[in-house]
Each structure stands twice: as C-alpha cells, then as structure tokens.
Amino acid sequence: MFLLGLGIVASMSLAALLAPWLASHDPTRLHLDALLMQPCMEFPLGTDALGRDVLSRLLYGARVSLWVGFVAVGIALCIGVSLGLVAGFFGGLVDELVMRAVDVMLCFPSFFLILAVIAFLEPSLGNIMVVIGLTSWMGVARLVRAESLSLRNREFVDAARLAGASVPRLLLRHILPNALAPVLVSATMGIAGAILIESALSFLGLGVQPPSPSWGNMLLEGKDVLEIAPWMSVYPGLAILVTVLGYNLLGETLRDMLDPRLKR
C-alpha cells in the first residue's frame, strides 16, 4: 500500500511538473472546429464545449490542485506546530488559551466557514490557499500539543535544560524533531483534504476562475453536457479520486510505519 500510494503521488506530481511538455495543446486555446469532440488521436481525452483540449487542461489543473494542497498544508503546519509546541511545553494558562481557541475553531464546520470567508473575498488561488490553511491547523495543534506534553519531562529534555539550553532551543532541537511523526502523517492526509476543498470550491464557482483550468471547474463545465460528453466530467473526477486515494494510502501506511504501538 505504501508503494502504491507513493507511486500515485509521485506520478501525479511528475505529471504536474512536466505539464508544459506533456500537454500537446495550450489549455486555454479554443478549437472552434472541434467542439465536444470525442477522444481521438489529436485530442486523446476529447475536447470541451469550447474546443479546449481536456488532457492539457487536466495536466495544468493538476498543478493548481497540488499547489493548493502543498501551500495550504504548509500554512496549517506553521500555525498548528507553533501553537501546539507552545501549549504543550508551557502548559497552564497558555495551554488553556490555545486549546480554547482550538475548540472555538472546531465549533464551525470547516467547509462552510471557508465558503463564508471566500464569499466576502475575491475568488482567487491565493485567497483559497490562505483560507484553507487558516481553517485547517486545529488537528495539527492538538497532535503536537499531545506529543509536547509527553516529551517535555523526558530525561533528554531535562538534561538539555540543565545544560543551559534556551526555550527556543529546547522546542526546536529536542521536542519538535521527536514530535514530527504524527505531523508528517497529518500533513500527507491534509494535502488530500485541501485538494478536495479546492475542487469543491471551484465546482461551486468560488474557486479558480475560468479560463484557468482546475479539476473542480472542469467538473462544473462538464455537468451540463454530461449525457453527450461524459469525458468532460469522468477524467477530472478520476484525477481527483486517484490523487486523494494516493495521499490517503501514503498517510495511512506512514502512520502504521512510524507509530511503534501499531507494530506487531
């Protein structure tokens, strides 16, 4: 399962990276003589209602989806890891304040909170990445807090404290490296979640705006012609399914590999 997940993730990432060379057409170019053309030699995955090559749009859409996933998870990790380390290490009032902030954020359904924020902002790729990151840090904060609580009184931390290590050094050199295993698993699965959220927002018209391709707005464009041109919806749907499956498989197997309690 690990190799399968890693293979899917590596293949999708490579396809997105090499999109300018793999795509045989400009993803925004209109071929007015080839509207809704079925898959053929020139257009291996067919064309859409405006004559644009579906394969080229799929490849460039992969860049958007993966970019959103990595940046949004990066923002969530920065916030969650920082707050979790501080809350777990200091405890007391600091821990209470951080955990109550986490509880407040968890009271709101994440997707509807994102919808509400995006509705007030201009739908753009940058806004989507920032909003997803700012609403996805709570789980990471909880994981890192739990690890920090269990590590702060360990012998190696006490030894470093007695040796005169400063608080930032204790957090960054001694506690954080030993708390990275659950963070890595959470980040892997978080990328899959961010891809799904971006696709859902684009499908609702609040995400990446045309003519820029994304898997979500390709699904939106294909729903009106589903009966006569199913390839417009099938291929981006499969791309979302396979990519999310790959990241979930990778995250699940990493959890099993890195957690000694799950080893038999």
In a domain, 202, yes or no: yes
Question: 18-24 contacts: CB < 8 A, separation 24 or more?
Answer: 19/56, 19/59, 19/60, 19/62, 19/63, 22/59, 23/53, 23/55, 23/56, 23/59, 23/60, 24/53, 24/55, 24/56
In a domain, 170, yes or no: yes
R_g (Cα) of the chain, nearest Å: 22
In a domain, 148, yes or no: yes
- SS3 (DSSP) at 213: coil
Domain count, the chain: 1
Confidence of residue 260 (pLDDT cuts 50, 70, 90): low
Q: Give dist(CA 103, CA 124) in Å, integer.
A: 29
pTM: 0.88
Look at residue 244 and tell me whether its pLDDT is greater than 70: yes
Which residues does residue 53 pair with via DSSP β-bridges, in sequence order? 47
Look at residue 264 and tell me whether its pLDDT is greater than 60: no
In a domain, 253, yes or no: yes
pLDDT tens for 106-121 read 888 878 888 888 878 7
Alpha carbon distances (Å) from 246 to 2, 16, 182:
9, 15, 18
Q: Indicate which CATH number applies to the domain containing 87.
A: 1.10.3720.10
Residue 19 neighbours by CB distance under 10 Å:
19
In a domain, 109, yes or no: yes
Residue 117, domain extent = 62-262
Token couple for 232: 């417009």
The pLDDT, as a whole number, for residue 239 is 94
